[in-house]
DNA sequence: ATTGGCACTCGAGGCGATCGAGTGCCAATA
DNA sequence: TATTGGCACTCGATCGCCTCGAGTGCCAAT
């Protein structure tokens, strides 16, 4: 594909993305001050169509990009706008201000992206299955109730309230707790099963049934930690885009989105997708991100190759998403723990913009998450005049 | 309003709710086998229109109910379908099966209602501000981290991870914890302020700054407990209703819904709305609910007068909701703790159906919530083959 | 008080003409 | 040989016009 074709393709995609209307040769020349006549452009467009990059809704209409056209655009023709320092500061602030739970950070990531992009955002909570258990404590609250606290390897703490048989006394519970810790400490969460944990039962002199009840609850607490949560925001914003003028189409898409676990599963798969596929897995454009942060990010250095993935139209292996594009990226907490961030929008999407946004949000979240999930700094005491959200 | 007018009004509302099209005199006679001619009906309809119960989109069209018409229908003409025993069992099951957190119960309530009604559901988590604090414990996890556990008066447990200065040792922390408990135990959550809690600082010999940090975190944990969460489900289902063919209208409504705190605030206000207003605040139709549950609900006896409220169209004091109807009801955990359940749909709503559903869901949640929030029974150990949701 | 009948209204839907932005192709041109 | 101007053609969108039918209001007859 020669240079001129590239320019024309880019121009067409840009225009189409903006207007959502098939673009014709004449208007293209005018809008972009091309130094060729519309006839020339017409010839080129005809060739581009033959090559599969463009399509026409009907004979006498302008051209619009095909999936392949978008793909070429995303792979080769994209320019990524830079994120301004103000924006960079704004998002960090947004993610952490008055933060009360680590989870909430994920939720806010989704919120921020949805608002910023005007598309739909999906953020998955981090996957802890690969992480190993440093400590597990079971602490009595009152007869019949206790709390299980897990500390995962990079200092991530999870806890869960459990019910226990009311007969169990504090010292017995502590005994059980120690036994559980002995038998689980250092194990990967994923490797812990009901069988593993039940070997802790021997330690106690209590009736086995009682002990098992506690072990079972502890087990659930552990499995709960592995559960991936899905945060979706901006669903209905899509309605504002012209491709959703057709309510039925919107409705079909929403039905597909309803199956959050499918979407989540798909996103996780994308993470493990091998490189070198025909999908855009581009190296982070350091140029676009380097000078933005306040200070150089240690994480950005660690993760040599933060990547985003773009799936366009038919490439998305989810029913009901054939008309959409899906951009995903993987954030990291420390080295091993990962989670996904995604944006879904119509194929006619502002790819450059969204990729910049999602990439930067990724970095911000990765930076900030470690502090809030793991053994980060103590938050400033902040003399009490924080606003409470309710 | 004489009997015949009532019958006609009811028939019109029923038809209009079903078809979403203005109903004419002739088709009304046919569909309902009325024993009057269409001319008579026409006269009656003209009078009903003059009285304000009906309106016409244009001169030669059929009639549709006005807000006032719906109001009369809801207040006087409604018949509440009974909930079948199967359904009753199904919902209890849905709410509690494999339940892992109390919160999730609220979420599921929203899910269930949305799915069942095909409208939008809003459920607020219970409001604990009125409740008093039985216990508060601060327990060390590792240097720099601790957990705050609150027990509220009917045995409701909340907890929150906090960061503490890494210098503080376990025994000092315990000391502080005891001091906090002494100074807060028995107080209403609402009455606890930063000032109240800071009086616990004297007890310790540690530097005041360190202690204050802990107290502040404990304070946040308490305030966190009071935070009301809003669960909304079925948002996009509304798109399937013909009144939302117009995407802009849908979009406007969704913009309004985006302000969840407004909606939540409005729902809470409705709870405190005095009786005797012009709004439907009807006594629970015991007839419709009595024979359904498996066993008589102790709560149903306690709460003499579970009520639902219906706001129609302009009655809703929220921007962008002028075309909707909003049905709310208050669930209870024990005597004092309350939360809200609501359904929002087009004015052309299946009032009878929805009111039955929401009322029953209310009862189911009230019944079940106490066990899961408070000192309920231990859940069955359930031999480990529960399905895990992820 | 009820009814049949009649003139009238108005939105929906089908038809045809017009308009305009687009295309493909070809012969002329630099 | 690549580019361009010109021309005939296509097709969706829009507008006006007509008809159809389900509705109404009103009046005189029962």
Query: Which member of A228, A254, A389 has the closest CB to residue B390?
Result: A228
Q: Average pLDDT for residues A365-389, to the nearest whole number?
A: 64
pLDDT above 90: percentage of residues in chain A:
75
Cβ atoms of A288 and A356 closer than 8 Å: yes
- Could you say which DSSP state residue A188 is in? B
Q: Nearest by CB to A165, which of B145, B261, B378?
A: B378
Q: Under DSSP, is residue A192 helix (H, G, I), strand (E, B) or coil?
A: coil
Q: What's the rounded Cα separation, in Å, for the pair B270 and B273?
A: 5
Contact, A59 CB vs strand D, < 7 Å: yes
* Positions of chain D reached by protein Cβ under 7 A: 3-6, 9-12, 21-27
**Main-chain phi, psi angles of A98, to 5 degrees:** 50, 35
pLDDT in tens, A118-134: 999 999 999 999 999 99
User: Chains A and B: how many Cβ contacts under 8 Å?
Assistant: 113
> Which bases of chain C come closer than 7 Å to a protein CB?
2-5, 8-11, 20-26
What share of chain B in percent tops pLDDT 90? Answer: 75
Beta bridge partners of B332: B338
Residue reference for tokens 């024979």: B291
Residue A314 DSSP code = G
Q: What is the pLDDT of residues A61-104, one digit of tens each?
A: 999 999 999 999 999 999 899 999 999 999 999 999 988 888 99
Task: Provide, in whole angstroms, the distance separating residue A341's CA from nucleotide D30's C1'.
Answer: 78
A387 interfaces chain B, CB cutoff of 8 Å: no
pLDDT of residue B79: 87
| Residue in A237, A18, A242 with CA at minimum distance from that of residue A118 | A237
Which helix (DSSP H) or strand (DSSP E) does residue A331 occupy?
strand A324-333
Contact yes or no for B384 and A141 at CB 8 A: no
Of the pLDDT bands very low, low, confident and very high (cuts 50, 70, 90), residue A379 is low
Q: Answer yes or no: are the C-beta atoms of B76 and B197 closer than 8 Å.
A: no
* A149: nearest CB among B100, B141, B165: B141
Is strand D within 7 Å of residue A40 (CB)? yes
Task: Quote the pLDDT of residue A1.
Answer: 79
Q: What is the DSSP string of A60-105?
A: TS-BEE-HHHHHHIIIII---PPPPHHHHHHHHHHHHTT---HHHH
Instruction: Spell out where B193-256 has E strands.
Output: 230-233
Two structure tokens written together for A271: 């993470």
Residue B37 pLDDT > 70, yes or no?
yes
Q: What pLDDT is attached to residue B317?
A: 93
Mean pLDDT of B326-338: 92
B251 touches chain A (CB under 8 A): yes
Q: In what order do the strands lie in the sheet with A133-142?
A: A133-142, A145-152, A156-163
**How far, in Å, CA of B325 to CA of B49, rounded?**
21
Counts of helices then strands in chain B (DSSP H, E): 14, 11
* Cα A324 versus chain centre, distance: 17
For residues A294 and A42, which has the higher predicted lDDT (pLDDT)? A42
> Cα–Cα–Cα angle for B137, B139, B142, nearest 5°?
165
Residues 6+ apart with CB under 8 A from B357: B83, B113, B116, B117, B343
Distance CA A120, CA A233 (A): 6
Domains of chain B are 3-77 (1.10.10.10), 85-127+228-373 (3.30.450.40), 133-226 (3.30.390.10)
Per-residue pLDDT, averaged over A227-235, amounts to: 95
Phi and psi, residue A284, nearest 5°:
-55, 130
**Residue A339: what are its φ and ψ, rounded to 5°?**
-150, 170
Q: What is the mean pLDDT of chain A?
A: 87
Q: Which one, of A15, A76, A10, lies nearest residue A310 by Cα?
A: A76
Q: Chain B: nearest CA to A78, how far in angstroms?
A: 31
Q: Does B56 touch chain A (CB under 8 A)?
A: no
> For residue A176, what is the enclosing H or E element?
helix A170-184
Q: CA nearest A21: which of A66, A73, A62, A70?
A: A62
A327 pLDDT tier (thresholds 50, 70, 90): very high
B32 touches strand D (CB under 7 A): no
Q: How confident is the model at residue A348 (pLDDT cuts 50, 70, 90)?
A: very high
Does residue A263 approach strand C to less than 7 Å at its CB?
no
* A277 shares contact with chain B (CB less than 8 Å): no
Cα separation, B386 vs A389, in Å, equals 36
pLDDT at B379 over 60: no
Average pLDDT, chain B: 87
Query: Of the segments A47-56, B264-273, B292-301, which one has the largest average pLDDT value?
Result: A47-56
Q: Are strands A64-65 and A54-55 parallel, antiparallel or unpaired?
A: antiparallel
Angstrom distance, A20 CA to C28 C1': 37
Beta carbons of A247 and B251 less than 8 Å apart: no
The answer, yes or no, to whether residue A389 has pLDDT greater than 50, is no
In B, which residues are within 8 Å of A151 by CB distance?
141-142
Residue with token string 């911000």: A364
Pairwise pLDDT comparison (B382 vs A105), residue with the higher score: A105
Where b means 16+ CB within 10 Å and e means fewer, A320-334 reads bbebbbbbbbbbbbb
Chain A contact for B30 (CB, 8 A cutoff): no
pLDDT score of B306 more than 80:
no
CB-based contact B232:B120 (threshold 8 Å): yes
- Work out the average pLDDT over B44-61: 95
Query: Which residue is closest to B234 within chain A, CA to CA?
Result: A258
What does the alpha-carbon distance between residue A337 and residue B227 come to, in Å, rounded to a whole number?
A: 30
Instruction: Tell the residue number behind the tokens 């990226």, with chain if given.
Output: A329
The answer to whether strand C lies under 7 Å from the CB of residue A56 is yes
Of A151, A213, A235, Cβ closest to residue B236: A235
pLDDT at residue A286 in the model: 38
Give residue-wise pLDDT tens across range B220-269. Answer: 999 999 999 999 999 989 999 999 988 888 999 999 999 999 999 999 99
Q: With 80 as the cut, is the pLDDT of residue B284 above it?
A: no
A149: helix, strand or coil: strand
CA gap A141, A151 in Å, rounded: 19
Can you give the pLDDT at residue B282?
40
Helix (H, G, I), strand (E, B) or coil at A205: coil
Confidence of residue B374 (pLDDT cuts 50, 70, 90): confident
Looking at chain A, the whole-number percentage of residues with pLDDT higher than 70 is 88
Per-residue pLDDT at B389? 32
CA-based nearest residue in chain B for residue A217? B381
**Lowest-confidence region among A216-225, A374-383, B64-73:** A374-383
Alpha-carbon gap: B24 to the closest alpha carbon of chain A (Å): 28
Burial of B184 (0-12, 13-18, 19+ CB in 10 A): buried
Nucleotide minimizing C1' to CA distance for residue B24: D23
Angle at B318 between CA B312 and CA B323, to 5 degrees: 40
Half-sphere exposure of B85 (CA within 13 A, CB side): 4
CA–CA distance, B292 with B89 (Å, rounded to integer):
9
Chain B residues whose CB is inside 8 A of the A378 CB are 144, 163-166, 213
Query: Does position B289 have pLDDT exceeding 80, yes or no?
Result: no
Mean pLDDT for the stretch of residues A260-274: 88
Cα-Cα end-to-end distance for chain B: 56
Which nucleotide C1' is nearest A4 CA?
A: D2
**Shortest CB distance from B381 goes to which of A135, A213, A224?**
A213
| Cβ-proximal residues to A94 (8 Å cutoff; 6+ apart), any chain | A108, A112
Which chain B residue has the Cα nearest residue A137? Answer: B141
């Amino acid at each position: 594909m020669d240079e001129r074709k590239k320019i024309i393709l880019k121009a067409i995609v840009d225009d189409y993305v903006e207007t959502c209307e098939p673009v014709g040769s004449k208007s293209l020349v005018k809008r972009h001050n091309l130094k060729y006549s519309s006839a020339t452009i017409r010839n080129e467009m005809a060739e581009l169509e033959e090559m599969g990059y463009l399509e026409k809704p009907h004979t006498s209409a302008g051209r619009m990009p095909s999936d392949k056209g978008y793909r070429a655009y995303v792979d080769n023709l994209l320019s990524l706008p830079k994120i301004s320092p103000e924006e960079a500061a704004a998002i960090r602030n947004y993610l952490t201000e008055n933060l009360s739970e680590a989870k909430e950070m994920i939720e806010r990531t989704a919120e921020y992206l949805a608002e910023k992009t005007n598309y739909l955002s999906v953020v998955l909570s981090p996957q802890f299955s690969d992480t190993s258990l440093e400590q597990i404590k079971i602490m009595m609250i009152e007869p019949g109730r206790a709390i299980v606290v897990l500390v995962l390897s990079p200092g991530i703490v999870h806890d869960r309230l459990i019910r226990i048989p009311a007969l169990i006394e504090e010292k017995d519970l502590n005994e059980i707790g120690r036994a559980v810790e002995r038998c689980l400490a250092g194990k990967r969460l994923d490797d812990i099963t009901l069988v593993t944990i039940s070997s802790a039962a021997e330690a106690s002199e209590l009736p086995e049934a009682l002990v098992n009840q506690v072990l079972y609850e502890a087990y659930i607490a552990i499995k709960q930690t592995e559960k991936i949560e899905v945060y979706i925001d901006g669903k209905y914003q899509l309605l504002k885009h012209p491709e959703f003028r057709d309510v039925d189409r919107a409705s079909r898409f929403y039905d597909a989105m309803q199956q959050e676990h499918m979407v989540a599963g798909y996103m996780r798969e994308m993470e493990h997708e091998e490189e070198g596929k025909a999908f855009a897995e581009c190296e982070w454009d350091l140029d676009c991100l380097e000078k933005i942060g306040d200070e150089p990010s240690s994480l950005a250095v660690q993760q040599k190759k933060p990547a985003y993935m773009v799936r366009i139209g038919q490439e998305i292996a989810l029913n009901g998403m054939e008309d959409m594009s899906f951009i995903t990226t993987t954030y990291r907490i420390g080295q091993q723990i990962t989670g996904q961030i995604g944006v879904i929008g119509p194929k006619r999407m502002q790819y450059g913009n969204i990729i910049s946004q999602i990439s930067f949000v990724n970095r911000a979240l990765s930076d900030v998450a470690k502090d809030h999930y793991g053994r980060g700094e103590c938050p400033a005491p902040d003399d009490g005049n924080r606003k409470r959200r309710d």
